[in-house]
Amino acid sequence: MLASIHFGKNWKFWVMTNIDSPIAIDHLFYILNNTTYDRPRLRALYALQQFPQSQILAYIEQNSLQTDLKNVVEEYVLKGRIIDYITMQQQSIPHKVNAVLKELNLLWNEDIQGVGLFGISNKTTDKESALKISFDSYISDKARWFVGRQFIIEEIDRFINSKDQESGYVIIKGEPGIGKSAFMAQLVKSRGYIHHFNVALQSINTVRHFLANIYSQITSKFDIKDIPWSEEAANDGVLLNQLLEEASLQTQDKLVILIDALDELDSSELKTNTNAFFLPKQLPKIFTLSLPRVVNLISDFTSQKGRKRDHIRIFISKQYPGCHSIYPGTIIR
């Protein structure tokens, strides 16, 4: 049976025909333990994620696994973050991984439509797990060296917490490469805001991605059970309006939704003059922090040269501890 294993063009159908077999999980671990090719290993890891956690844990306990493989399975497969793991491998094997990542993202699109990764009806009752896109690794990487900009955060906080401002949009603008996504990632990391990052390089940039991800987070946060997800949900703004209205009724606090890189949205399927992401003009006690590269900021901070210098000092001291104490005044002039 093992000799028949292949991960060619129709690899997902091989897994589908064996998904209920008690030895299918053995096949996947066999590939991981004995195959050195990157694409089969990455596909096997992704397929492994479809098994119940109890079955994976039982296999780990009963078999000796290589330490690095065990760590990957426990940290990414069991936590449903295997796409994050695959994404992180792009630096070492870019061409192979990008091909796999593109393929898996297409399969993920099928999954949220109810088809299921392997062509099996997706009957899971855990709608949050089925629809949510994990940006944990992306956020950690972007926010890793973030420093300063506290005055911008304070300005945003003043706008959100203003008694005269019940709801609204905050649009942030900046040149490419100045740290906009890092800033947004830091806000999510420190505040826990509901969020969505458009990442064109990973093909995570459609309206469906956004709606499914926001649907997952809002229904989970507010325990909303009477608004079902459907394929038609991505065709208009009805579902999003229902979610926002229901969320506003369940909390006295203001809700913040963060959207990064509006300009990376794939708008090919949108109708002419349609609002990107179907965002409503009026928001009920909700603020949306959006980050394109083309719209004005609530204030102009480009002249804050003194603060920029302070931020550079903080960044260097964070990345190279001790530099400022050894050479005071000479790092930044």
- The pLDDT mean for the chain works out to 71
Q: Is 299 helix (H, G, I), strand (E, B) or coil?
A: coil
Nearest alpha carbon to residue 291 among 257, 258, 255: 258
- For residue 79, report the phi and psi dihedrals to the nearest 5 degrees: -95, 5
In the predicted structure, residue 258 carries a pLDDT above the cut 90: yes
86/223: higher pLDDT: 223
pLDDT tens, 55-70? 888 888 888 888 888 8
In the predicted structure, residue 282 carries a pLDDT above the cut 60: yes
Provide the β-strand partners of residue 168.
287
Q: How confident is the model at residue 101 (pLDDT cuts 50, 70, 90)?
A: low
Average pLDDT over residues 243-248: 91
Pull the structure tokens for residue 83.
Answer: 């796409």
H/E run at residue 131: helix 127-131
Q: How confident is the model at residue 319 (pLDDT cuts 50, 70, 90)?
A: low
Domain assignments of the chain as residue spans, ordered by start: 2-123, 136-142+150-291, 303-333
Answer whether 0.75 is exceeded by the pTM.
no
CB 116 within 8 A of CB 110: yes
* Yes or no: domain 136-142+150-291 corresponds to CATH 2.30.29: no
Provide the β-strand partners of residue 291.
260
Pull the structure tokens for residue 158.
Answer: 């003043």
Q: How confident is the model at residue 46 (pLDDT cuts 50, 70, 90)?
A: confident
Angle 43-13-102 (CA atoms, 0-180°, nearest 5)?
40
Q: In this predicted structure, which of 32-36, 179-183, 227-231 has the lowest mean pLDDT?
A: 32-36
Query: Exposure pattern of 289-316 as b/e (b: 16+ CB <10 Å)?
Result: bbbbeeeeebeeeeebeeeeeebebebe
Q: Cα separation of 148 and 60, whole Å?
A: 44
